[in-house]
Every structure is written in C-alpha cells, then in structure tokens.
Amino acid sequence: MATVKKDYKVIGSRPVRHDGVDKVTGKAIYSADFSISDLLHGKVLRSPIAHGIIKKIDTSKAEKLPGVRAIVTSKDFIGSSDKNIETAEDRNEGETTRLKYLRDNVLASDKLLYIGQPVAAVAATSSHIAEEAISLIELEYETLEPVLNTTQGLSSKSIIHQELETKELGTKVPGKTNLAEHIQHKLGDPEEAFKHAEIIVERELTTETVHQGYIEPHAATASWSKDGRITVWCSTQGAFPARDTTADILGVPISQVKVVPLEIGGGFGGKIPVYLEPVAALLSRASGHPVKLVMSRKEVFECTGPTPGTLMRVKIGADKSGKFIAAQAHLEFEAGAFPGSPVAAGSYCVFAAYDIPNVLIDGYDVIVNKAKTAAYRAPGATMAAFATETVIDEVAEKLQMDPAEIRLINTAKKGTRRADGPVYPTIGCEEVIKTIKDSEHYNSPITEPHVGRGIAIGYWFNVGLESACTISLSKNGTINLVEGSTDIGGTRTSIAMQAAEVLGLLPEDVIPSVVDTDSIGFTSVTGGSRTTYATGWAAYEAAIDVKNQMISKVAGIWSIDADNVEFEDGVFFSKQDTELKMTFKELAAKSGAPIVGRGSVSKGGMGAGGGSFAGAICDVKIDPETGKTTVLRFTCVQDAGKAIYPSFVEGQMQGGSVQGIGWALNEEYFMTDDGRMTNSSLLDYRMPTSLDLPMIDTIIVEVPSDGHPYGVRGVGEANIVSPPAAVANAIYNATGVRQSSLPMNPASITKGIQDHRSDILNSMNC
C-alpha cells in the first residue's frame, strides 16, 4: 500500500464537478424525469388503517375504467413468500430477511400493518386515470388494535407478526412478541463499577419519528420484456442492491433484472430500500407496457423512511476527576412494521467516543404499526448521542468541569476497547475534541442574555463493502472511469480525483460514468460513508493497473525491463537511460492493445478505517416568552482522514449539521392515536429553511485512516450525530432547563421554562 504523502496535486483541490453543468442547466435526468416510448403511469392503493386483516380486495370496478391497463396485488408475485433470502446488504451483514416481509412492504398480502402500506397498484394511460381507478378498488378489512410506540409494542397483547420470535445473538427466544431483537454488549463489570462512582447521572430520553426529507420523491419505471428481461430506471442509493432486492421480491434470478440508476435527488439512507421498483415491474408484466410510478410527498412521508422514535435510558458514573468509570444504556427503537430498526447501530455508537472500562448496553428492536424504518444518515447514532452527550453535559456540570475537558480526558483513541469488544485502530476522536476546545468559537465570550452554548461529540463507524471500477485509456491521454456508485453529492469527482492523482492527470482528464448493473462489477450502496472511501479505493487500484500496463507497454517500446521504468509527474522514464522519456499523453497515443484497468475491492463491514468522529459547537438564543430557539452560531468539526475534495467535505458537514438542527428543534411526525401522520406535507413537517439558520462553520481535522491509500475516512454521516445534543446542551446553558425529548420545540421549551420560572428569572437577571 502506498504511504500517505502530503504533496498531492489533485487530492485536496476544488475542481468543478463533472456532472455540474448538467445539474445547473436542468439537463440532468432524475427518476421522475425519465420517459420511454409506450409508457403507462401507475398509482398505488395504500392501507387506510394502521393495523388490520385484509378480507377482500375487489378490483372489478377499477378494471372497467377506460384507460386502465393493469391492476396488481401481492398475488402476482412469483413463488412462495415463505422463505428467508439474503439481500445484497444482508450478505455483508451475515443475516437473512423473510421474503414475506420484503414483499408485504411493497404489496400487502394478508395483513395491513401501517397507514400507507401498498395494497394494490394500477397502470393506466395517465396518472390521473390511475388515481381515479385506485379510488374504485374496494378494500375490505377487519381493524385490529394498533401498536404505535415501543412501550405499547413491548406490553401490548396486540401481536403484529404472529410468527415473530425475539432474536438474541443468533438464537430465538420462543413466545409471541413484538420484540424482534435484543442486543447486548457488555464490557467489564458495570454493576460493581457504579458502586465506586463519585457521581452518577441517569436520564430517560425520547425522540420522535423524523424523515430523511430528500427533496426528490421516489420514482421508478420498469419494463418487463417478452423475453423475461426486466429493466428498471430509478433513483437509488445502490443500483446493485436495488437490482438484487427487486429480483428477490419478484422471484426471478438477479440476472433477469437490470437497474439503470438515474440521477438521485437526495437519499440520506432513505433510498436504499426498494418500494416502487417491483410494483412497476409487476404492472409492466401484466400490461405489456413500461410502467412508471412516482410517489407524492404525502406517500414519501407516510410510506418511506423514516428514522424511528426512541425511548432511551442512559446512566454514566464518573470518579472525582471526571473519568467515566461505568456506563449503561437501555435503547428501545421502533422498527416500524417489520424487523430492523437502527438499534444495533445505535448500540455500537452510544458510548463510542469514550474510553469507559465498564459498560452495559441493551438494545431492543420493537415492531410497531408504522412504516418500516429506513437508514437515515448515521442510523441510530444521533438518538443515542442525544442521550449520552446530554448526560455527559450534566456530569461535567455537577463536577464543575469544562464540557470539552471532560470529553478530552475520557476520549477514545487508538487501542481503546469498545463496549462491543474490538479495539480502535487509528481514530481522530481526541483530535476532534481538542480542535473544539482550542477553537475560536468555543473560546469566544457569551455576552448577551438568554444565549447559551453547547457542545457534543458524535461517531459513525463507516462501512467499507464492495466496489468495482474500470478505467479505459483514450488515445488523447484522457481516461474513462466507469463506476457503480450512484452519485448523490459529487462522488463522481471525489472518485475521479483519486484516479487522476495516480496517473498525474487533471480532474477534467477523467470522464466518470455511473453505469447500470450490466456494465460494471457489483458495487454496494452509496451509504455508510463508504463511497469516496471504497469506490475511491477501487478507482485508485484501477488507476494503478492502468499505470502498470502503461509501464509494460513503454518498456516493450524501449526494449527494456519494466522494472527499470518509473512514472512521475506525468512522465514515464528509464531509470538507467535518461534519454528514454515519454509523457503520459504520448504513450497513450501509441497504438497497441487497448489499456483497460480494473479495481475491485471488498473492504470489510462496520468499522472501515476506524470510522469518523465529528463534533459540534452551537450557540443559541432563546426567547423566554415564546420558547423560540434561534441558532446564532454553529461550528462542525469532523475528522475526514484526508479530505479529497474539501468543498464537498464541508458540504457534508454543513448538510448533516442542518439536518441535525432540524431534528433538534422542529422535525417530528405528529401521529394520531390510530396511527395516522397528520403533518405529511413540507409545510407542516418543518425542515430548516435558509432563514432559520446561520452560516455553518466547518473545521476539517485530518487523521489519516489506516489502510486507505490516501487515508480517507467517509464523511457523509458522523456530522449529523452531535447537533441535537449540542443544541440541547446550548438550550440548557441558555435557560437552565434540561431537555429530554426531541424535538425541542417552542412548546417544550416554554413548558420547561415555566416549570423552572423562578430559577430562570434569577439566572438570567431579567
């Protein structure tokens, strides 16, 4: 492996991204922009209740509506649903998924499990006709008592999946339950250690369901050809996983499906699952036409994503010096209607920033009658950090310690044993905390009343997984780079730059293409902060392959041994004969067998490169009368390992920070007692606007990861983890009232202030 060097020519620069002009001129084709000859438009009938049994689906009236060409239900899937399959992501994670769950989430078979669950779908000559037809389908059902949070899920007699048993590290606990999994990590002897703590802080905290909030609704077009080949055009975070899952759900071999990824208008984890793709395919088979399905915003809110509501209890014990000696976490996460909340990830991350010798973590994955949760940027870690980091703030306060100092003396570093067992490789946690502590922002005085400052630290472990790249050398000395990672935020360029650096090219000499699943090797999702890390690594290896082939070629031309050829600054030269020199472009122009390099990597699952730490410093101003929080100043600090494209690293940090601020202050699903979301529009689901925010300052820390040729760490996720806790700690600092629930909206802040009115008046000198 190449050593990390400092004098890069391309790495660390800020070129114009390759897909940029298309995206600022409206030419880029996103999923809903796609069209094809002979296209029909589809709509989906969705469950009106949160929990029930399907008695009858009568489509006869809808079928008679002029313009309707096909109606499908779950009966149209091929083969039995009663088996476990290994999805593309499962393969990396060592688990399997019940096919019935996958299918029921795209077309319900026997039960209705959440409001918005697809039940039937129509293809018609226009989307308006399809919508009319949907209203003509008669759905008869029996209503059951819904289960809407983890407390209900763990205590209710209303069982959502009769066959479900609790998973406990590979074993199944018999008995009817809504608890899909219990996870436990134990390090040392926390029970004993707590007895020796000078101070113990224990708090119960809750968070509400929030959505990823990508601006592009899901859309998919499918064409089931008469020869059995299925082509799907969609926007997805992973064309290959989407292909595999679509094939699994349909009951056809993966070789029968091709996914063509279109431009993707945001995902944040929410565009890893497939929702529309298999349904569009069934409609295409039934109608004989290509069929396009596009979700409305309401459908996006009700039926996709979200990340779950949680109930957490976190307890930390420290000695007199502030050293954490024991910690305990109890994490209950809503899975949605099928198993698989991010509680496992939350359990890995809850104390990940600290070196604590005695830890007990219990995580509970609880089935509820809400949409199946999907990944959302550092899934599970943000809620967990909200709990841990507010408890730590309280420990620091009680010990009269500086919040950065207490984190620094407890920081995880290389060699720290995590609660789940493994020890860290090189990580940048300590450097992130030090950077916060030494920053101008942290050390600037607070002079105004009702203003407070908070900090918090967050971790996301990052994944490696599988990526493939090929590079073809053109006669004019440019390269065509083919990759399978869908580009959500400029990764074409951050990947291309890693190849350019090897070959001494400019970024614009690399022409990157994101291609369909027939045209490149398997590539895992654009997620887990892995794309610049792992696909960049594959591009690096493909470029090394090109370089080696070019060395062989020039050695042949010069009739010397390839070992005697060096390549530096874009020039091939002989180590022995200084006369023998050829530029990259000159050599590329020489005829001969085409040079095609390939890179193919499998870089492990969780913990790739040690993951990334990030931290936030937040200043807020509270209006004590209305409870309105204004974020006055915000700084995000993150370890990028090595920032390939610093503007994009900053952009990830800023975007994650603002999603975290929205989560902290405004965003939540308002649910009725019968499980209906009442704020399923972008007016009522209040994401931050430009007017709600200050500039988001960024400080990039670079502690190169072990292994990666440039020391990259994925930066997509860790930045969302700390903001809610940092905002909560700032609100406490401003008001003297601890917040224990997200979001911390004006109502909860005024209530807190009123409850502590006399204290507040004193502390604020009003």
Partner 1 sequence: MTQSKTYVRCTINGEDTEFLCEPRQSLLECLRDVLRLTGTKEGCNDGNCGACTIMLDDRIVTSCLVLGVEVNGKTITTIEGMASPEGLHPVQQAFLEEAALQCGICTPGFLIASKALLDTNPNPTEEEIRFWLANNLCRCTGYDKIVRAVVKAGEKIREG
Partner 2 sequence: MLQVFIPSLMRKLTNDKHIVEINASSITELINKLDKEYPGMKQQLTEGNLIKDGLSVVINDEISNNPLLEHLEDGFEIHFVPTIGGGTF
User: Under the rule (CB under 8 A), what is the footprint of partner 1?
Assistant: 14, 16-17, 19-21, 23-30, 32-33, 35, 128, 212-217, 263-268, 294, 296-297, 488-490, 647-648, 650-651, 654-659, 681-683, 687-691, 693, 695-696
3-state secondary structure of 620: strand
CB of 66 to partner 1, least distance (A): 11
Q: Distance (Å, rounded) from C-alpha 237 to C-alpha 241?
A: 9
Distances (CA, A) of 517 to 75, 92, 215, 240, 243: 28, 19, 25, 6, 8
Q: How many CB atoms lie within 10 A of CB 250?
A: 25
Strands (E), 319-358: 324-336
Q: Which of residues 347-406 bind partner 2 (CB under 8 A)?
A: 347-348, 360, 365, 372-376, 379-380
> Which CB atom, from 634 or from 732, has the smaller least distance to partner 1?
634
Q: Which of residues 215-274 bind partner 2 (CB under 8 A)?
A: 241, 245, 269, 272-274
Report the relative pairing of strands 612-622 and 629-639 from DSSP bridges: antiparallel
> Which CB atom, from 16 or from 53, has the smaller least distance to partner 1?
16
Does residue 83 touch partner 2 according to CB under 8 A? Answer: no
Are the beta carbons of 341 and 156 closer than 8 angstroms?
Answer: no
CB of 189 to partner 1, least distance (A): 43
> Which CB atom, from 294 or from 468, has the smaller least distance to partner 1?
294
Supply 318's token pair.
């420290």
CB of 366 to partner 2, least distance (A): 13
CB of 592 to partner 2, least distance (A): 37
The single-letter code of the amino acid at 643 is A
Supply 722's token pair.
């700390």
> Which CB atom, from 4 or from 85, has the smaller least distance to partner 2?
85
CB of 742 to partner 1, least distance (A): 18
Please name which of 322, 386, 385, 396 lies closest in space to residue 356, comparing C-alpha atoms: 322
Burial of 649 (0-12, 13-18, 19+ CB in 10 A): buried
Does residue 420 touch partner 2 according to CB under 8 A? Answer: yes
Binder of residue 459, out of partner 1, partner 2, none (CB less than 5 to 8 A by kind): none
Q: Which of residues 496-535 bind partner 2 (CB under 8 A)?
A: 527
What separation, in Å, do the N-terminal and C-terminal C-alpha atoms of the chain show? 62
Are the beta carbons of 52 and 143 closer than 8 angstroms?
Answer: yes
Q: Distance (Å, rounded) from C-alpha 737 to C-alpha 631?
A: 17
CA 475: distance to chain centroid?
40
Does residue 116 touch partner 2 according to CB under 8 A? Answer: no
Strand partners, 567: 572
Binder of residue 379, out of partner 2, partner 1, none (CB less than 5 to 8 A by kind): partner 2
- Angle at 516 (CA atoms; ends 510, 521), nearest 5 degrees: 75
Q: Distance (Å, rounded) from C-alpha 643 to C-alpha 649?
A: 7
Q: Distance (Å, rounded) from C-alpha 612 to C-alpha 424?
A: 11
Distances (CA, A) of 70 to 105, 175, 432, 527: 20, 42, 57, 35
CA 548: distance to chain centroid?
36
Supply 567's token pair.
């390549």
CB of 396 to partner 1, least distance (A): 28
CB of 714 to partner 2, least distance (A): 14
Binding mask 147-176 for partner 2 (x = CB under 8 A): --------------------xxxxx-----
CB of 605 to partner 2, least distance (A): 3
Does residue 90 touch partner 2 according to CB under 8 A? Answer: yes
Does residue 654 touch partner 2 according to CB under 8 A? Answer: no
> Which CB atom, from 26 or from 94, has the smaller least distance to partner 1?
26
Choose, by CB under 8 A, the member of 34, 101, 634, 732 that binds partner 2.
101
Does residue 295 touch partner 2 according to CB under 8 A? Answer: no
Binding mask 589-628 for partner 2 (x = CB under 8 A): -------------x-xxxxx-x------------------
Burial of 333 (0-12, 13-18, 19+ CB in 10 A): buried
> Which CB atom, from 35 or from 184, has the smaller least distance to partner 1?
35
CA 90: distance to chain centroid?
16
Phi and psi dihedrals of 159, rounded to 5? -95, 125
Binder of residue 522, out of partner 1, partner 2, none (CB less than 5 to 8 A by kind): none
Binder of residue 348, out of partner 2, partner 1, none (CB less than 5 to 8 A by kind): partner 2
Residues that bind partner 2 (CB under 8 A): 84, 87, 89-97, 101-102, 105, 167-171, 181, 183-186, 241, 245, 269, 272-274, 338-345, 347-348, 360, 365, 372-376, 379-380, 420-425, 464-466, 527, 602, 604-608, 610
